[in-house]
Amino acid sequence: MTSSTTPAEASASDTPGPDTPVSEWPDLLRALAQDLAAVGYTVDAVARLLGPEAHAALSRDQPVPALVTTRTAGEDPVREPLGAVVRFFLLAQPLQAAALDAVLPGIRSDGLVALGLAEETHDGAGLAASVDLRPYAWDAGDGEIGIWVASDLAAHQRAGVLRTDHVLGIGHASATLVQTTARRPVERALDLGTGCGIQTFHLLGHARHVVATDISDRALAFTRFNLLLNAAALGIDPAHPEDRFELRKGSLLDPVAGETFDLVVSNPPFVITPRTEGESPDGQFTYRDGGLPGDELVARLAAGIGGVLAEGGTAQMLGNWEVRRGHAWHERVRSWVPEGIDAWVLEREEVGPGQYAETWLADASQQRDPRAYHDAYAAYLADFAARDTAAIGFGAIWLRRPAAGQARLDRFEQLTHPLEQPIGPHWLAAVERADWLAAHPDLGAERLVVAEDVTEERHQRPGAEHPGVILLRQGAGFRRTNLMSTELAGFVSACDGELTAGQIASALAALLERDDDGFRKGLLADAANLVADGFLGPHDGATRNREKSA
């Protein structure tokens, strides 16, 4: 759809939806993109403008240093146009219409109003941003992709408690899912619970077509605006956007019932929230609260998502789960996974009920009402106590409907130390190693090599003849540490691709005078675990090279 309507005509003839940006004016979207590019509104340029301290503070939702740094731009935006744009869209500082016209001459102030991005201040003295519009960029392998992303103004940009249908911007959880996703070329992908669209932006780089769903009309409106504003960068034809993406409204898997996808990603509203009798969905924060008791929403999604996976298809999602008193953290999560579906779950963090309540009450600025904060905090504690919940875990869930010849994975691990980011390529490499092991059951016939990021540490008491502790450490990827026996350390040191694993095991058995078959089998089983974890790899280097290039 194209239009020759002027911004003034657009403002009069096309009223924005329920406080969301308007995406029906391609000429205005094009003008806005050109103006933002011309002023240099990029991630790197904003970081240079603000400087390290102010930029870091803003990432913590503390705008004061950035306000001080850009004060001149507020006084004279013509001399510092980038600073004026930063103050307007990132710091939510009003500007005169004439100042906006000067720094954004293509879209101008009336065009911003027409697109629902600006509105008159209460005193009528200028215009204020009605959305947060910020630059965002990522490395696509063959170069960086830079776009602009609109979302609702956050708590540090506006007064009061967030609206319940708040559309979140690029937050910690969404960035975590971006980094965690194991990316590969696919035909069809699903972004379940799209929010402002961040997962869809990335999926379009390796999926021919993306379906994005959300229960919120406002979220879908923001996503559509962001996709069409950045059509050129995302490979979308504005005249035929349906060729690349489709937006659907609905809860969980309802909008895609009966369909299958090669890849599903989801940052669902997983926050565990106390339920109250007679509560209305209008009182729930839709960006984080799925409206179900406890961790039931994540449980339902984990149990049902395999039904929309094509053969060999994978799903990756974030979630919270309750850890019952006296039970291991993974017991409950494992019970969600249906028969025939592979699972690999990483728990990255565990917190107590009190800390969990504090985190999410602060997230929506609910501490600004002391009485309501007290009542809500108490409700959290009572809710967790009713289910005997000792802790709440957070992490990433990977699921697969395995195809013929692929490994069967049932792996639940707690890794709370820092991982290399993005971890997605390393996760993909790990799954490929598991499939390689399934296709090569006789590891003794294979030649293995040590991964390039692996180092060995030996610790021994002063004067001791042999080390008491031998550790194998990864410097990349999952950054695991493996405690080694002397025999296994000797095996690894001989893995240079010259001898087969069976030959090395047999040589060690002879050297140590352990000629029983059990010793050899045990050593090869330990070696298989090292391959699965990425300490060792096949000599052909296919998996190693993929992980190295990550």
* Dihedral (CA of 378, 383, 386, 390) sign: negative
Average pLDDT of span 43-63: 95
In terms of domains, do 397 and 363 share one? Answer: yes
* Domain CATH number, residue 489: 3.90.930
Average pLDDT over residues 217-223: 96
Note down the domain range covering 514: 434-549
Torsion angle of the four alpha carbons 42, 44, 48, 49, in this order, in degrees rounded to the nearest 10 = 10
Q: Are residues 273 and 402 in the same domain?
A: yes
pLDDT digit string, tens, across residues 85-97: 999 999 999 999 9
Give the mean model confidence (pLDDT) for residues 438-465: 94
Give 285: exposed, middle or buried? Use CB within 10 Å, 0-12, 13-18, 19+: buried
Mean pLDDT of 367-378: 84
- pLDDT recorded at residue 49: 95
CB 349 within 8 A of CB 395: yes
In the chain, pLDDT over 70 holds for what percent of residues? 93
Which of 184, 266, 194, 197 has the alpha carbon at shortest distance from 230? 197
Residue with the larger pLDDT of the pair 32 and 166: 32
Q: Does a structural domain hold residue 102? A: yes
- Residues of the chain with pLDDT > 90, as a percent, come to 79
- Given a cut of 50, is residue 432 above it in pLDDT? yes
Under 8 Å between Cβ of 4 and 28: no
Enter the pTM of the model: 0.91
pLDDT at 47 (0 to 100) = 97
pLDDT at 549 > cutoff 60 = no
Count CB-CB contacts under 10 A for residue 187. 11
- Phi, then psi, of 122 in degrees rounded to 5: -60, -35
Q: Considering its fold, how many domains does the chain have in total?
A: 3
Q: What is the dihedral of CA 74, 133, 419, 549, to 10 degrees?
A: -110
pLDDT band at residue 289 under the 50/70/90 scheme? confident
What confidence tier does 364 reach under pLDDT thresholds 50, 70, 90?
low
Lowest mean pLDDT among 63-77, 169-183, 440-454, 480-494: 63-77
Q: Which residue has the higher pLDDT, 3 or 36?
A: 36
| One domain for residues 407 and 479 | no
- R_g (Cα) of the chain, nearest Å: 27
Cα distance between the two ends of the chain: 40
Residues 302 and 361 in one domain: yes
Integer Cα distance of 485 and 139 in angstroms: 40
Q: Domain ends where: 115, 150, 185?
A: 150
Token digits for 519?
């010793």
Instruction: Please give the mean pLDDT across all residues of the chain.
Output: 91
- Residue 387 exposure: Cα atoms within 13 Å on the Cβ side: 24
Instruction: Say yes or no: 356 and 460 in one domain.
Output: no
Per-residue pLDDT for 59 more than 50?
A: yes
Q: How many angstroms separate the CA atoms of 463 and 522, rounded?
A: 31
Mean pLDDT of 459-465: 86
316, 265 contact by CB (below 8 A)? yes
370 & 467 share domain: no
Q: State residue 402's pLDDT score.
A: 97
Do 442 and 389 belong together in one domain?
A: no
Amino acid at 172: H
**Residue 41 and residue 86 in one domain:** yes
Local structure of 263: helix, strand or coil: strand
The answer to whether position 426 is within a domain reads no
Same domain? For 376 and 446 the reply is no
In a domain, 425, yes or no: no
Q: Are residues 227 and 365 in the same domain?
A: yes
Domain final residue, candidates 394, 418, 442? 418
Residue 300 has pLDDT above 70, yes or no: yes
* Helix runs in 453-516, H state only: 486-493, 501-511
Residues 6+ positions from 478 with CB-CB distance below 8 Å: 415, 419, 420, 423, 426, 430, 533, 534
Assigned domain for 455 exists:
yes
Q: What is the pLDDT of residue 2?
A: 34
pLDDT at 52 over 70: yes
Q: 422 preceded by cis ω (within 30°)? A: yes
Q: Is residue 507 part of a domain?
A: yes
Residue 156 falls inside a structural domain: no
Q: Based on the domain organization, do 209 and 329 belong to the same domain?
A: yes
**Cα–Cα dist 493/325, whole Å:** 43
**Is residue 495 situated within a structural domain?**
yes
**pLDDT tens digit string along 137-183?**
999 888 899 999 999 998 788 876 778 888 999 989 999 999 999 99
pLDDT at 208: 98
Q: What is the CATH number of the domain that holds 406?
A: 3.40.50.150
